[in-house]
Structure 1
Amino acid sequence: MPCTDFDIRILVDNRVDDGLIQEHGFSVWIEASGQRILFDTGQGTALGHNAKQLGCDLGRTDMLVLSHGHYDHSGAVSHVVGIAPSSRMFCHSNAFLPRYSIRPGEAPRLLSMPFSDGKAFLHVSDSRITWVTGPRMVAPDVGVSGPIARLHPLEDTGGPFFLDPEGRHPDPIRDDMSLWIAGERGLIIITGCCHSGLINTVEQIRTRSGIERVFAIIGGFHLLNASPQRLEATCSAIRAWNPEIVIPCHCTGDTAEALLIETLGSRVIPGYAGLKLSSSRLPDAVKTGLRSAALPPGAAERRS
């Protein structure tokens, strides 16, 4: 039976609703199949405040799922481990690798999970940690993709990512994974940064879940540096999947978001911390429009 009752709330994003803390990061609170799931934790500054403001009790977290090991998705792990001591953790072992962004003429920029947050895993019993190596169900109607096969010729990781500060070893970000809910109206797919590519990600989830219909896609699509050809291929794929709702967040990029809106119209709802999607109602933005966010200029295009 598909999941008939779910609530999804964006807790951390580059854009925010009134009264929330803006942060270059991403986190989503999910209630589905009797489980309270925290997907990513942002950089660490915004999560606790925003969760409290939105009525999401992080102390009742049943599962913490990390999409990958970048600082803007894993910066509050230690906080969650501390206040939800019985929660289960799902991530790939590569999430703890050292990682860098290296651009010409710039010093290497550290992107790794903060040390204190990685160290927090040492205090979690082995029985509570699942090292995700492939697609698996984490609840009756909720699954995680595990590593995504890189099949589409136009999709790459979306940036100059390396495993060393000298730039000798490219980082394929193999730990990148997404989450899905099997809903009555089709798949609800939640991505972190989608470094594997949105086409690769959605197609693998459709295949592994056995569900072709896509109802909603939510998250960062990491199309900031995408070529026009990749953007067009992505829009074409989304048109073919024909989802009812697309919510681009975090690292999607203004150019890509504008093209998605041009392609799909009102089905595209720019994401922001505070936005809610549930089985009982569409996001607030459908009825009220996206509220003005306290964003510094260009924040939605910040590089990672």
Structure 2
Amino acid sequence: MFQSSLTKITVLCDDRLSSPLFSEHGFSVLIEWEGKALLFDTGASDIFIRNANILGKDLSKVESIVISHGHYDHSEGLKHLLPFNKKYKVILREEAFFPKYSNDRFTGINWENLKEFLDFVIVKDEVMEIFDNVFVFGPVPFRNNFEEPDPYFYVLKGDKKERDFFEEELNLVINEGDGIILVTGCAHRGIVNIVEYAIKKFNKRIKILMGGFHLYKSTFPKIEKVINSLQKFDIENIIPYHCTGEEAIKILNKR
């Protein structure tokens, strides 16, 4: 759990969590502030709910859920909220509904089965304020020559399977006045691109950067470029999770 002066963030799902918490390939965090609560992603199963129970977190207080992108390891957990008997507001971009693939393996979810008990809020603007001082934004533009989605990801549009550039990718910003908290899902469009965009858009320093940075299959030269670039932004706290990868996490810790 991480807490700033105004915001409490609890990791409910990640690839590496210590006992008694459960782990899986996925990501989910609970964000609490000013008596409000929202979920950012829901992992791949009910693990985020089980971990919330272990940590004494009451998910019935959650009204809204942000889905960063349409992969199963960030959205499959939605179906396990059915027993809560609530119509959750799910905030996402429309492109998240397209079928997703890693080469030939299906990596999306069946959204049709969820439409009866979820209230989908479609983000159409580049930046959307979902609560006072809480924003989602994306997809960010590609601005450097070393970050782009891995070429083995595909999306099915109609009957055409094409390379997936994650046009639905959302990131979350909490504006705390003296700085921002930036949460990413997988950073498929590049963590440096995302950080650069957030700093320019909100014109504030980043107090906490946390989430998946999708460097686990990256070459060492790319990891070096990414981390060298992140160092230039003078970020106060960098907390990598999920798809960041052991090598990148090791280097970040050293730096």
User: Which shows bigger deviation, 225-234 or 48-57?
Assistant: 225-234
Say whether residues 1:193 and 2:196 are aligned partners: no
Output the amino acid matched with 2:74: H
User: Which shows bigger deviation, 44-53 or 190-199?
Assistant: 44-53
Report the Cα distance in structure 1 between the residues aligned to 2:57 and 2:196, rounded to whole angstroms.
31
Q: Which residue of 1 aligns with 2:114?
A: 120
Report the Cα distance in structure 2 between the residues aligned to 1:59 and 1:17, rounded to whole angstroms.
25
Q: Where does the alignment leave 5 or more consecutive residues of structure 1 unmatched?
A: 103-107, 264-304
Q: Alignment partner for residue 234 of structure 1, among 218, 226, 229? A: 226
Q: Which residue of 2 aligns with 1:254?
A: 246
Q: Which residue of 2 aligns with 1:15?
A: 16
What secondary structure sits across from 1:143 in the alignment?
Answer: strand
What is the deviation of 1:59? Answer: 1.5
Report the Cα distance in structure 2 between the residues aligned to 1:118 and 1:31, rounded to whole angstroms.
29
Q: Alignment partner for residue 123 of structure 2, among 132, 148, 162? A: 132
What is the deviation of 1:69? Answer: 0.6
Higher strand share: 2
| Cα deviation code 1:224-266 (max 9, x no counterpart) | 2223332222112221112221111110011111121222xxx
Q: Tell me the TM-score normalised to structure 2 length.
A: 0.90
What is the deviation of 1:17? Answer: 2.2
Tell me, yes or no, if the aligned pair for 1:30 and 1:39 is still in contact at 8 Å. yes
Report the Cα distance in structure 1 between the residues aligned to 2:247 and 2:101, rounded to whole angstroms.
25
What is the deviation of 1:75? Answer: 1.0
Q: Which residue of 2 aligns with 1:216?
A: 208
What is the deviation of 1:120? Answer: 1.1
Q: Which residue of 2 aligns with 1:111?
A: 107
| Cα deviation code 1:90-116 (max 9, x no counterpart) | 1011111111111xxxxx211012x2x
Q: Stretches of 4+ moved more than 3 A in 1?
A: none
With over 3 angstroms needed to count, the CA separation of the structure-2 counterparts of 1:130 and 1:201, relative to structure 1, is: same
Say whether residues 1:27 and 2:41 are aligned partners: no
Output the amino acid matched with 1:245: N
Report the Cα distance in structure 2 between the residues aligned to 1:168 and 1:229, rounded to whole angstroms.
30
Q: Cα RMSD (Å) of the superposition? A: 2.2
Q: Where does the alignment leave 5 or more consecutive residues of structure 2 unmatched?
A: none
Tell me, yes or no, if the aligned pair for 2:88 and 2:117 is still in contact at 8 Å. no
Q: Which residue of 1 aligns with 2:44?
A: 43
Tell me, yes or no, if the aligned pair for 1:15 and 1:23 is still in contact at 8 Å. yes
Tell me, yes or no, if the aligned pair for 1:33 and 1:141 is still in contact at 8 Å. no
Equivalent positions of 1:150-229 (< 5 A) are: 150-158=142-150, 160-164=152-156, 169-211=162-204, 213-229=205-221
With over 3 angstroms needed to count, the CA separation of the structure-2 counterparts of 1:94 and 1:81, relative to structure 1, is: farther
Q: Which residue of 1 aligns with 2:140?
A: 148
User: Which shows bigger deviation, 8-17 or 74-83?
Assistant: 74-83
Tell me, yes or no, if the aligned pair for 1:100 and 1:162 is still in contact at 8 Å. yes
Equivalent positions of 1:55-74 (< 5 A) are: 55-74=56-75
What is the deviation of 1:82? Answer: 4.8
How many residue pairs get aligned? The number is: 250
Tell me, yes or no, if the aligned pair for 2:86 and 2:117 is still in contact at 8 Å. no
Tell me, yes or no, if the aligned pair for 2:68 and 2:169 is still in contact at 8 Å. yes
What is the deviation of 1:197? Answer: 0.5
Output the amino acid matched with 1:129: F
With over 3 angstroms needed to count, the CA separation of the structure-2 counterparts of 1:4 and 1:20, relative to structure 1, is: closer
Q: Tell me the TM-score normalised to structure 1 length.
A: 0.76
What is the deviation of 1:184? Answer: 4.6
Output the amino acid matched with 1:37: L
